[in-house]
Chains A and B, each alone.
Chain A
Amino acid sequence: AQSVTQPDIHITVSEGASLELRCNYSYGATPYLFWYVQSPGQGLQLLLKYFSGDTLVQGIKGFEAEFKRSQSSFNLRKPSVHWSDAAEYFCAVGAGTGRRALTFGSGTRLQVQP
């Protein structure tokens, strides 16, 4: 079965600084990859997805992610963080046959300092 690891539980960055959130997956073939964002008490909103093709994908709110097959990673990046980016971020994987539910990482909580 596939698994997803988000090594950083909590990250704090200053407003205007760059951001990289890490995501590693365990699966033999190339999975379908997603990043979601969650504000407190809310559902999850899709930031971006990777299915195939160009390994650098652009998403909403200025986010991008790069798929690196050799590292089994799909890290999320943003060049300049805004205070409104403070939230929890989840990486998710879809892989294998059968059910089409996603497997989620445990999340990274982002705090933005003024």
Chain B
Amino acid sequence: DGGITQSPKYLFRKEGQNVTLSCEQNLNHDAMYWYRQDPGQGLRLIYYSQIVNDFQKGDIAEGYSVSREKKESFPLTVTSAQKNPTAFYLCASTPDRDKYQPQHFGDGTRLSIL
């Protein structure tokens, strides 16, 4: 079955460390998104990519970086510049980059600080 796979499910970061969250999709979707979820705040957009080798900042991009070298992969790096990284991170995708469509979500990665 097609879907989005996020790994790892749980991740721990030490002070000053960069960590990378994986997001892979086999849906052949053009667009991919990263959201951060904090209790009581819903989902906030970190970065999005509408096509390979291109990505754009979302609303809370500071302290994060991404790449989109392959259509199926959109990894997110949480850098040491992100001072409050503890959150639930969700990756999503949509088939077309130029339409509003339902987003398909992975099962998320929970990041905590050691």
Interface residues of A, Cβ cutoff 8 Å to B: 4, 9, 32, 34, 36, 41-46, 49, 51, 90, 94-95, 99-102, 104-107
Find A100's partner among B41, B90, B99, B108 (CB 8 Å cutoff).
B99
Residues of B within 8 A of A99 (CB): 48, 50, 56, 58
Contact status B107-A49, CB under 8 Å: no
Are A43 and B40 CB-contacts (below 8 A) given A34-B102, A101-B45?
no
Contact-size category for B: 20 to 34
Q: How far is the CA of A36 from the CA of B56 in the complex (A)?
A: 24
Find A44's partner among B6, B90, B97 (CB 8 Å cutoff).
B90
* Chain A, Cβ-Cβ closest to B41: A106
Find A94's partner among B58, B98, B100 (CB 8 Å cutoff).
B100
Q: How far is the CA of A112 from the CA of B27 in the complex (A)?
A: 35
> Per DSSP, are chain A's interface residues mostly helix, strand or loop, or mixed?
loop
Q: How far is the CA of A45 from the CA of B105 in the complex (A)?
A: 7
Contact status A105-B42, CB under 8 Å: yes
Q: How far is the CA of A102 from the CA of B35 in the complex (A)?
A: 10
Contact status B102-A100, CB under 8 Å: no
- Is B25 in contact with chain A by the CB < 8 A criterion? no
Are A90 and B42 CB-contacts (below 8 A) given A41-B108, A43-B107, A100-B94?
yes
- Is B75 in contact with chain A by the CB < 8 A criterion? no
- Is B18 in contact with chain A by the CB < 8 A criterion? no
From residue A91, how far is it (CB to closest CB) to chain B in Å? Answer: 9
* Chain A, Cβ-Cβ closest to B30: A100
* Chain A, Cβ-Cβ closest to B90: A43
From residue A110, how far is it (CB to closest CB) to chain B in Å? Answer: 15
From residue A5, how far is it (CB to closest CB) to chain B in Å? Answer: 10
